[in-house]
Chains A and B, each alone.
Chain A
Amino acid sequence: MFSFREFWHRLQFLLFHDGFDRELAEEINDHVERMTQENISRGMPPAEARSAALRHFGNTALQQERSREHWSFPALDSFLQDIRFGARLMLKAPLLTTIAIATLALGIGANAAVFALVKSAFWRNFPFFEPDRLAILWASNQKTGWKEMQVSVPDVADLKAQSHSLQWISGYTWTDYQVFSVSSAGGALRVRGVAVLPNLLATLGLHPALGRDFRFEEFAASSNHVALLANTIWRTRFGADQQIVGKTVRINREPFFVAGVLPANFELPDLGKAPEVLVPLALDSPEAHKRSQRILLPLGRLKAGVSRAAAVEELHSIARQLARDYAKEDGDYSLNLQWVSEDPVDRDARDKLPIFLATVALVLFIAASNVVLLTISRLVARTHELAMRTALGASRRRVLRQMMTEAVLLAAIAALFAALLAGWFLQLIMFYKPFYMYEYDARIGLSGMLGIAALALAIGLIVGIVPILRSGKDNVQQLLGRVGVHATGSKWQHSMRRGLVAFEISICVGLLAAAGLMLQTIQRINAIDLGFNPRNLVLARMTLDGTRYRSPEASGDFYRELVSRLRVQSRFESVTAISHSDFVGYDMAYPVDAQGEPAPLDPTTFPLAGAHVVIPGYFRDAQSPILRGREFSEHESQPAIILNQTLAKKLFRDDDPVGRIVVIGQAPQAWDESIPPGPRLVIGVVADVQKYSEFLKKVFPQFYVPLEQNPVPSMFVMVRSADSEGAIAAIRETASSMDSELAVYWATSMQSKIDEWYAGQHFQAIVLTCFAGLALSICLSGLYAVISHSVSRRSAELGVRLALGADPRSAVLLIMREGLLLIGAGTILGLGLAAALGRLLQHLLFQVRPTSVPTLAVAVFAVGTTALAATYLPSRRAARIDPVTALRAF
């Protein structure tokens, strides 16, 4: 390497090389002058003397160049030179440069954003200590094949006693609580909570932010009125009160002692939403002693130094022992470990996300190939310059390196913009993200930046090398010779351009077809007759707790009173109530049969049907058409039921079900919301509520029963009003005036919930339409460039044709034939691509087949006509070629 002095000299040269150059030039000039003088003194005529000296000296510029090579850091210097030259070239063609940088930046940025999204679907930041040692212990039923089932409290106790490979075992069970804070003016609040086993925080490796964890003696029914509050609720509801530990809050109408506040970002490993309240599970309650009560989700932390395989082995043997000892309850069950760090954020991501990846990858391909096209165009225009460089002694490697430097420089600038764009894209995606992405925590981050840089470098190298792959075969004479005629580029470059344009067209057809499928799906979704009228509907849910509403009738009385108080206000079109809404919350399913008593939950023999408890007049107010029979009256004389069309068909085929008897079986779990089993008289059939589900692909059988005969604690109050905010406020106010500690939750407009249900489709439609439009515009500009280049490439030939009397129109057709060939080839390829994209979209499509012929036809037509236009415009120039000018170019 260099000594320090040498390095110092070189550095000086790098900084002040202009002065060095001048000195060297002057010195060489002096040398030539002296030789001239000597030649004269030998008797040569002055003019000849100088040229003889110059001849003798040789190429002065080359000498100078060789001399300065010793001074500089040669690689760095020529690199900087290439960069300066590249930058100058870019500035000279600002439009081309802007287009190239913009397309690359869009392509790279979109890819970075989508990769961040995909990464966030599979990988999350766990707020736990050493999350890779943490596992959920799921039970699975060998007989029914049901997986991810919960475990009973006695089973967890046995596990804890017998396991040696797990350091901590704990567990929890999700429930909802109504938290009422006396100090806050906001009224009662419904929160998600969990009842936990001892040592939950220790198992997760966490400590409370304030206060302490639960003590062992607090896991008894007599002393478990203790709570840990989540950081969020502590801030929003309790004003981040530092003195909250030891104070009392009211939960479910009872005073609870606050033991502490959970750390910020606290969540549980099973990907539910974060709990807002933790309370101790009463381990002395009767249900905690039954092995049939599978209420717990157990967690375990692997002991340090124990292998996962050993833990799984041990757990399986304990489960086998339990199945032998308690054959009645545990006979069919086994236990499995689900390692928390291996559980993706979104388990369906494998179905949902490939279409995003495919879309952005295609857009990137289009962007990169368009930059290759532009580079080839520029290269052709530079044939002159490159030939001259070669003639002046530039080595082939040097020219190649210059091309690469220019391409990488372009990509590097694009990468800077891409980094900005990626952030914006991601914000946009996160802003419009459909509900299934709520758990995604996507950010670009350092890895994203590195990814952008790597992608840009790779594209730069490809873009730099592809156009000149074959150009080395041209020798200098050929290049210089061609300069005289016409700079048209090599054959390789020409076929490369045509191939790329055909590919771009195929990608456009594919993306447009995919966008068309989604738009058609949206159209079909909008055209669905929902079976009720969602216009201006507002819902809000309440759950009456057993502490205050002890008798079953109390619930019916409360909702009747609430509805009539709201109706009296006469600001609303209609007011009614229903226990379960199709688009908000969940369904409760019961086995139903037309004769005999259905066995509890046996979906193989009896249809499972969703239950809805309603008040009289519900169908009138929801505007659901009654197809047969009538709707519920104020006082039904015997247990009554209304079926939806699907259930009626399932039970009675084409017979009239009105007046027949159906029997409702035992609910799968004895929830407090359950409706009593038993026979009921069918009084009507109502239209299906059309709720398309990507999983069911069909309408679920459902039935309706009156609240009076089936008192359930939880109901939606459903108001039709143009002023949705006002309606929700009125429901809250009226409910609070009847019971100040009752929480009103899930208050929302029906339409927003329907939109949310189809958000996946809407989102995908927007994304695909945008990208298809982007791709089309990039592709058309590429096609236009290729055709107009083709015109100038063949202008001499066309000139001869025209001079020999060819019709100008035939000249246009000649050029257009090339465009048509590209469009045709691209379209055929595009149909294949469209089919592939359609398959990736299948899970989102609604009443549209992925190979829908009209959609494909529209895509082909749209691309075809615009591409034809992009071909025709430059082709017209062929007719205007002046034979004389064109021929003179020879």
Chain B
Amino acid sequence: MNKSKNDLLPGTLEMLILRVLSLQATHGYGIAQRIQQVSDDVLRVEEGSLYPALQRLLLKGWVKAEWKTSESNRRARFYSLTAAGKKQLGVEAESFQRMIEAIAKVMQTA
């Protein structure tokens, strides 16, 4: 396991989780896998931050969790987005977009 780890920008993990869940309800392991796959192994989610982050989202009411039987006939806790979560994702995506554009501007002109 000597792949270099790319630390996420602070605050972005929650946004990424919301984004993953907006496409499909899945369990904690699925979320981590999905982020890793989609980012071509650039973004690796630390399990140590994943579960605390999920608890935070549950607490804020942006995601909800229920126990379901998964593809491989195993019981797992599936997370899905709530209406409030959808709204929050919009807000976060927008501000993230603005941030990226701003950073890009600075990087290009300076």
Contact pick for A27, options B28, B59, B60, CB 8 Å? B28
B27 interface residue (CB < 8 Å to A): yes
Q: Which chain B residue shows the least CB distance to A53? A: B47
- How far apart are B47's CB and chain A's nearest CB, in angstroms? 5
Q: Check A31–B47 contact: CB distance below 8 A.
A: yes
A77 interface residue (CB < 8 Å to B): no
Q: Residues 49-60 of chain B: 1 if any A CB is under 8 Å from the residue's CB, otherwise 0?
A: 001101110111
Q: Check B47–A67 contact: CB distance below 8 A.
A: no
Q: Check A63–B51 contact: CB distance below 8 A.
A: yes
Q: Which chain B residue shows the least CB distance to A65? A: B52
Of A68-76, A205-213, A317-325, the one contacting chain B is A68-76
Q: Check A27–B48 contact: CB distance below 8 A.
A: no
Q: Give Cα A5 to B54, complex, Å.
A: 17
Q: Check B29–A35 contact: CB distance below 8 A.
A: yes
Q: Give Cα A10 to B75, complex, Å.
A: 26
Contact pick for B52, options A9, A23, A35, A70, CB 8 Å? A70
Known: A6-B60, A71-B55. A66 touches B48 (CB 8 A): yes
Is chain A's binding surface mostly helix, strand, loop or mixed? helix
Q: Check B61–A30 contact: CB distance below 8 A.
A: no
A524 interface residue (CB < 8 Å to B): no
Q: Chain B contacts of A10 at CB under 8 A?
A: 59
Q: Chain A contacts of B60 at CB under 8 A?
A: 6
Q: Check A70–B47 contact: CB distance below 8 A.
A: no
B42 interface residue (CB < 8 Å to A): no
Known: A5-B61, A30-B76, A30-B77. A56 touches B47 (CB 8 A): yes
B110 interface residue (CB < 8 Å to A): no
Q: Residues 24-36 of chain A: 1 if any B CB is under 8 Å from the residue's CB, otherwise 0?
A: 1011101101110
Q: Check B76–A67 contact: CB distance below 8 A.
A: no
Q: Chain A contacts of B106 at CB under 8 A?
A: none
Is chain B's binding surface mostly helix, strand, loop or mixed? helix
Q: Chain B contacts of A30 at CB under 8 A?
A: 27-29, 74-77
Q: Residues 30-63 of chain B: 1 if any A CB is under 8 Å from the residue's CB, otherwise 0?
A: 0000000000000000111001101110111100
Q: Check B29–A70 contact: CB distance below 8 A.
A: no
Q: Check A9–B59 contact: CB distance below 8 A.
A: yes
The size class of the interface chain B forms with chain A is: 20 to 34
B83 interface residue (CB < 8 Å to A): no
Q: Chain A contacts of B27 at CB under 8 A?
A: 27, 30-31
A57 interface residue (CB < 8 Å to B): yes
Q: Check B47–A63 contact: CB distance below 8 A.
A: yes
Q: Chain B contacts of A5 at CB under 8 A?
A: 61
Q: Give Cα A71 to B65, complex, Å.
A: 15
Q: Check B47–A69 contact: CB distance below 8 A.
A: no
Q: Check B52–A71 contact: CB distance below 8 A.
A: no
Q: Give Cα A31 to B61, complex, Å.
A: 23
Q: Residues 2-22 of chain B: 1 if any A CB is under 8 Å from the residue's CB, otherwise 0?
A: 000000000000000000000
Q: Give Cα A64 to B55, complex, Å.
A: 10
Q: Which chain B residue shows the least CB distance to A59? A: B48
Q: Give Cα A182 to B93, complex, Å.
A: 103
Q: Chain A contacts of B29 at CB under 8 A?
A: 30-31, 34-35
- How far apart are A817's CB and chain B's nearest CB, in angstroms? 56
- How far apart are A48's CB and chain B's nearest CB, in angstroms? 13
Q: Check B28–A67 contact: CB distance below 8 A.
A: no
B1 interface residue (CB < 8 Å to A): yes
Q: Check A24–B51 contact: CB distance below 8 A.
A: yes
Q: Residues 85-109 of chain B: 1 if any A CB is under 8 Å from the residue's CB, otherwise 0?
A: 0000000000000000000000000
Q: Chain A contacts of B61 at CB under 8 A?
A: 5-6, 9
Q: Which chain B residue shows the least CB distance to A62? A: B48
Q: Give Cα A347 to B60, complex, Å.
A: 67
Contact pick for A67, options B52, B74, B77, CB 8 Å? B52
A186 interface residue (CB < 8 Å to B): no
- Can you list 21 A-B contacts (CB < 8 A)? A5-B61, A6-B60, A9-B58, A9-B61, A23-B77, A24-B51, A26-B75, A27-B27, A27-B76, A28-B51, A30-B74, A30-B77, A33-B74, A56-B47, A58-B48, A59-B48, A63-B47, A63-B52, A70-B52, A70-B56, A71-B59
Taking Cβ atoms with an 8 Å cutoff, the residues of A that contact B are 5-6, 9-10, 23-24, 26-28, 30-31, 33-35, 56-59, 62-64, 66-71
Taking Cβ atoms with an 8 Å cutoff, the residues of B that contact A are 1, 27-29, 46-48, 51-52, 54-56, 58-61, 74-77
Sorted nearest first, the 4 A-B pairs with minimum C-beta distance are: A70-B55, A34-B29, A67-B51, A67-B55
